């Protein structure tokens, strides 16, 4: 019997499902995202993918479900709960005097996502609506200092009263966050025990979350935010996931549904720390890029995902995934390790408006998404979008949008765009549309070069473009910048779902410590640091192993990878260093870890940043526990000639470029073979995406079917 793997990426606009068989072959389906019930978009996309194997869910497609080994789902359910403020009512217990911790937050939270002109003007700063109401916050007396020493004992009667009051007031979950509990969890643990005793006495059980279980790391506001999110939004999100699982079960899938963790890795939807999946969607793209990079021999990759709603970007340096241990999320800092993905509102659904005061073009940041979508979909949106511009300019084929499954009204896009944008600007429709497309490309280019890659040498990096609109705009935002290479793939439209299929089953744990290896340190000092690091690794390894054993894996299947976050003493930023040894049992092991850090540092940063007499500071450690899974395979094929087969050609179509109409060559992507080259001006079409090759550019298909784009010599 065949084995299959299903992986899904439900973005803000489209839901993509990839089906992988046990030979590594795969097909991809695509359907609009349905936020009200994510299982609807999932099953529509799943059904569409099956058609490429001549199967349906009503007949032979059920065999695929019955023989599926793993089904992975990433979606926006937790994000929706936070956006719509539809989570459960949460009570908050902390140190007396710190009851406003979550409500007040950190000052920098007020300008997350703002540009410099907005940051320097206070009127642009704003606090987000708190997830916890002030009436549901209680303070109790206790204090542990930064060294983990008890300064003030826990006043247990105050904890008991606080829990009783919150339950009587109707809270549906309770969070306990004490200062420096990561250094000594004794008081938080005891407060948790008291809370459970009170719940039992009152006959009312609600979820209880301790920050030491959720995020045992420094910075109390970020730790509190992470713990509150788990209490507030995890259960509403879990309902959506169970809904998808039930739909799959009805078609023959008899296992549990899996989801993707923010830092890469797969887990069960019943995983208690579900908040670690809150930004799971874009993670698949980074993980897919890492997997692809290993296959094609590229260690430095800038990942750029342009969909209908957002432009998500991240950079893999020296093969190291970009982990952000305190990322911004929904106007909050959270102590949840995530792949460092920086997003802006730029996609084909991005709205185009004129500023009423200046009459200048304004792009987004809001978007039409998949529903109602661009004007040409005639689904209710009357505001022009970037997707409408792509259609007006001739890049999108109106008869082949999503393989012809979605009806397109080009005339309506033109009339709408002329009325709202072109005529007020005093321009013809096509010139105005081209200016809008150029502007969105500049916005994305600046996001990459001036923000994401600030301090890095882009000449060492391959720019990888994916997402439904990535190939269409890739050359535009790659521009004339000196990237080492510019690339995309035929399955770019579902690359994040493909990346989800490339991940291992994995959990990760972090813990704050403070260990230092000074310049010229003797053996005793090095072993003191080794003891602190190894002790934390051992505790985290035991926790993770127990978790995976409970999820049904054998101990022999579990691989543990310890890591440390190391920086040069005096510098502000550290990097994740995977340990060359499982434990630090000797001075030589410590030296190997520091040498690994220096080697990674030299690959990532300019050598001028390296101090001449370095001391090393370790502020945090982590352990990654993983189990290998079935993955899609990319096989190398023999190269054919540069000229595409006749069956690949679809004739020509006029495109508006640089103020004039020019005939572009048209090709069907599935008919192009490794070794083929396509010179611009050209459009390479597929049912799920469009690759636009401008004039003076060339697209080249290599033996792995990776598509390389480069400028031709004039």
pLDDT, tens digit, 9 for 90 and up, residues 195-233: 999 999 999 999 899 998 888 888 889 899 989 988 888
Span 88-101, pLDDT tens digits: 899 999 999 999 99
Partnered with residue 621 across adjacent β-strands are: 511, 564
List the CATH number of the domain containing 563: 3.30.1490
CA distance 602 to 183: 33
For residues 311-333, give the mean pLDDT: 84
CA distance 658 to 655: 10
Higher confidence at residue 434 or residue 612?
A: 434
Written as one string, the DSSP assignment of 259-310 is EE-TTS-EEETT-S-GGGGTT-TTHHHHHHHHHHHHHHT-S-EEEEEE-SS-
472 and 478 Cβ atoms separated by less than 8 Å: no
Q: Are 511 and 612 in the same domain?
A: yes
Q: Which residue from 217, 179, 173, 236 is spatially nearest to 199, judged by alpha carbons?
A: 173
Backbone angles phi, psi at 28, to 5 degrees: -130, 135
Q: Dihedral of the CA atoms 325, 328, 332, 337 (nearest 10)?
A: -20
Which CA distances in Å does 321 have to 278, 291, 508, 603?
Answer: 18, 11, 14, 13
Residue 69, in any domain of the structure: yes
- What integer best gives the mean pLDDT of the chain? 88
Backbone angles phi, psi at 577, to 5 degrees: -120, 115
Q: Are 591 and 514 in the same domain?
A: yes
Domain of residue 484: give its range: 283-335+457-492
54 and 40 Cβ atoms separated by less than 8 Å: no
Residue 388, in any domain of the structure: no
Of 40-54, 448-462, 600-614, 672-686, where does mean pLDDT reach its minimum? 600-614
Whether the predicted pLDDT of 1 surpasses 60: no
Buried-state track 262-287, b at ≥16 Cβ within 10 A, e below 16: bbbbbbbbebebbbbbbbbbbbbbbb
Q: Are 587 and 473 in the same domain?
A: no
pLDDT of residue 338: 82
Higher confidence at residue 336 or residue 246?
A: 246
Cα 414–428–666 angle (5° rounding)? 60
| Residue with the two structure tokens 């073009």 | 361
Q: Are 114 and 195 in the same domain?
A: yes
CA distance 70 to 504: 11
Residue 608, in any domain of the structure: yes
Whether the predicted pLDDT of 34 surpasses 90: no
pLDDT of residue 666: 96
Whether the predicted pLDDT of 364 surpasses 60: yes
Banded model confidence at residue 33, pLDDT cuts 50, 70, 90? confident
Structural domains of the chain, count = 5
pLDDT of residue 512: 87
Residue 395, in any domain of the structure: no
Q: Are 9 and 147 in the same domain?
A: no
Specify burial of residue 355 (Cβ count, 10 A radius: 0-12, 13-18, 19+).
exposed
Backbone angles phi, psi at 419, to 5 degrees: -70, -45
Is the backbone of residue 170 left (phi > 0), alpha (psi -120 to 50) or beta? left
Q: Are 65 and 116 in the same domain?
A: no
DSSP 127: P
For residues 399-427, give the mean pLDDT: 90
Span 554-592, pLDDT tens digits: 899 899 999 999 999 988 888 889 999 999 999 999 999
CA distance 236 to 89: 12
Q: Are 616 and 690 in the same domain?
A: no
Backbone angles phi, psi at 119, to 5 degrees: -65, -40
Taken in order 345, 348, 349, 355, the sign of the CA dihedral is: positive
The pTM score is 0.79
Q: Are 543 and 605 in the same domain?
A: yes
Higher confidence at residue 318 or residue 411?
A: 411
Residue 432, in any domain of the structure: no
Residue 385, in any domain of the structure: no
Q: Which residue from 50, 51, 47 is spatially nearest to 39, judged by alpha carbons?
A: 47
702 and 42 Cβ atoms separated by less than 8 Å: no
Whether the predicted pLDDT of 61 surpasses 80: no
615 and 517 Cβ atoms separated by less than 8 Å: yes
pLDDT of residue 397: 93
Whether the predicted pLDDT of 118 surpasses 80: no
Q: In what order do the strands lie in the sheet with 690-693?
A: 649-657, 660-668, 682-685, 690-693
Question: First CA to last CA across the chain, in angstroms?
Answer: 55
Q: Are 621 and 512 in the same domain?
A: yes
Specify burial of residue 601 (Cβ count, 10 A radius: 0-12, 13-18, 19+).
buried
pLDDT of residue 83: 66
DSSP 345: S
Q: Are 599 and 693 in the same domain?
A: no
Q: Which residue from 663, 661, 693, 666 is spatially nearest to 680, judged by alpha carbons?
A: 693
Residue 410, in any domain of the structure: no
pLDDT of residue 482: 93
pLDDT of residue 9: 81
Q: Are 113 and 182 in the same domain?
A: yes
Q: Which helix (H) or strand (E) holds 517?
A: strand 505-517
Q: Looking at 600-689, which runs of residues are DSSP E strands?
A: 616-627, 649-657, 660-668, 677-679, 682-685
Span 168-191, pLDDT tens digits: 999 999 999 999 998 899 999 999
Pick from 8-17, 44-53, 192-201, 634-643 the range whose average pLDDT is largest: 192-201
pLDDT of residue 142: 96
Banded model confidence at residue 80, pLDDT cuts 50, 70, 90? low
Q: Are 601 and 656 in the same domain?
A: no
Partnered with residue 350 across adjacent β-strands are: 367
pLDDT of residue 698: 95
Whether the predicted pLDDT of 60 surpasses 60: yes
pLDDT of residue 76: 66
Higher confidence at residue 64 or residue 644?
A: 644
240 and 76 Cβ atoms separated by less than 8 Å: no
CA distance 344 to 114: 10
Start-end of H helices in 342-383? none
Banded model confidence at residue 281, pLDDT cuts 50, 70, 90? low
Q: Which residue from 530, 511, 8 is spatially nearest to 211, judged by alpha carbons?
A: 511
For residues 690-700, give the mean pLDDT: 95
Residue 345, in any domain of the structure: no
The last residue of a domain, from among 627, 659, 679: 627
- Report CA 14 to chain centroid distance, whole Å: 15
């Amino acid at each position: 019997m065949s084995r299959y793997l299903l992986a899904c990426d439900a973005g803000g606009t489209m839901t993509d499902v990839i089906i992988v068989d046990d030979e590594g072959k795969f097909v991809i389906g695509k359907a609009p995202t349905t936020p009200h019930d994510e299982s609807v978009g999932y099953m529509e996309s799943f059904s569409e993918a099956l058609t490429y194997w001549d199967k349906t869910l009503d007949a032979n497609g059920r065999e695929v479900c019955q023989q599926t080994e793993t089904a992975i789902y990433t979606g926006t359910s937790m994000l929706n709960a936070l956006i719509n403020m539809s989570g459960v009512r949460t009570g908050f217990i902390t140190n007396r005097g710190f009851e406003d911790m979550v409500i007040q937050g950190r000052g920098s939270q007020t300008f997350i996502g703002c540009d410099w002109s907005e940051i320097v003007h206070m009127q642009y700063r704003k606090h987000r609506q708190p997830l916890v109401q002030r009436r549901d916050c209680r303070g109790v007396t206790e204090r542990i200092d930064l060294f983990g020493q008890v300064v003030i004992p826990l006043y247990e009667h105050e904890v008991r009263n606080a829990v009783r009051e919150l339950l009587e007031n109707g809270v549906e979950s309770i969070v306990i966050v004490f200062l420096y509990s990561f250094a000594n969890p004794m008081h938080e643990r005891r407060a948790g025990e008291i809370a459970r005793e009170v719940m039992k006495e009152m006959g009312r059980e609600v979820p209880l979350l301790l920050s030491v279980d959720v995020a045992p790391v420094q910075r109390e506001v970020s730790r509190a935010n992470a713990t509150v999110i788990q209490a507030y939004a995890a259960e509403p999100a879990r309902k959506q996931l169970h809904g998808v699982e039930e739909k799959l079960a009805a078609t023959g899938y008899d296992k549990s549904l899996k989801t993707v963790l923010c830092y890469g890795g797969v887990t069960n939807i019943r995983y208690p720390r579900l908040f670690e999946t809150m930004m799971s969607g874009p993670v698949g793209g980074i993980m897919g890029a890492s997997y692809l990079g290993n296959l094609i021999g590229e260690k430095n990759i800038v990942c750029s995902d342009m969909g209908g709603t957002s432009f998500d970007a991240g950079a893999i340096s020296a093969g190291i995934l970009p982990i952000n241990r305190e990322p911004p999320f929904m106007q909050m800092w959270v102590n949840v390790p995530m792949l460092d993905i920086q997003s802006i509102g730029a996609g084909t659904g991005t709205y185009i408006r004129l500023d009423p005061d200046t009459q200048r073009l304004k792009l987004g940041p809001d978007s039409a998404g998949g529903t109602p979508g661009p004007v040409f979909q005639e689904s209710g949106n009357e505001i022009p979008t970037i997707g409408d511009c792509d259609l007006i300019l001739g890049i999108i084929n109106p008869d082949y949008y999503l393989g012809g499954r979605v009806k397109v009204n080009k005339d309506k896009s033109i009339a709408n765009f002329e009325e709202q944008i072109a005529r007020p600007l005093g321009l013809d429709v096509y010139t105005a549309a081209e200016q809008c497309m150029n502007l969105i490309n500049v916005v994305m280019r600046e996001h990459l070069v001036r923000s994401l890659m600030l301090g890095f040498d882009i000449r060492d990096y391959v720019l990888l473009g994916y997402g439904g609109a990535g190939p269409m705009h890739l050359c535009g935002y790659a521009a004339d910048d000196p990237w080492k290479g510019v690339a995309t793939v035929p399955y770019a439209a579902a690359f994040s779902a493909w990346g989800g299929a490339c991940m291992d089953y994995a959990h990760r744990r972090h813990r704050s410590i403070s260990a230092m290896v000074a310049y010229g340190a003797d053996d005793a000092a090095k072993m003191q640091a080794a003891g602190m690091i190894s002790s934390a690794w051992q505790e985290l390894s035991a926790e993770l192993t127990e978790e995976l054993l409970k999820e049904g894996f054998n101990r022999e299947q579990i691989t543990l990878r310890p890591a440390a976050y190391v920086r040069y003493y005096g510098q502000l930023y550290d990097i994740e260093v995977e340990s060359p040894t499982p434990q630090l049992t000797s001075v030589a092991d410590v030296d190997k870890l520091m040498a690994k850090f220096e080697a990674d540092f030299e690959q990532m940063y300019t050598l001028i940043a390296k101090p001449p007499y370095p001391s090393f500071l370790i502020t945090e450690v982590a352990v990654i526990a993983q189990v290998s899974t079935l993955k899609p395979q990319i096989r190398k094929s023999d190269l054919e000639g540069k000229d595409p087969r006749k069956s690949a050609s679809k004739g020509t179509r006029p495109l508006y470029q640089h103020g004039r109409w020019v005939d572009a060559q048209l090709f069907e992507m599935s008919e192009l073979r490794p070794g083929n080259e396509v010179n611009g001006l050209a459009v390479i079409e597929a049912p799920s995406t469009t690759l636009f090759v401008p004039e003076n550019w060339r697209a080249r298909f290599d033996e792995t079917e990776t598509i390389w784009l480069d400028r031709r010599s004039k």
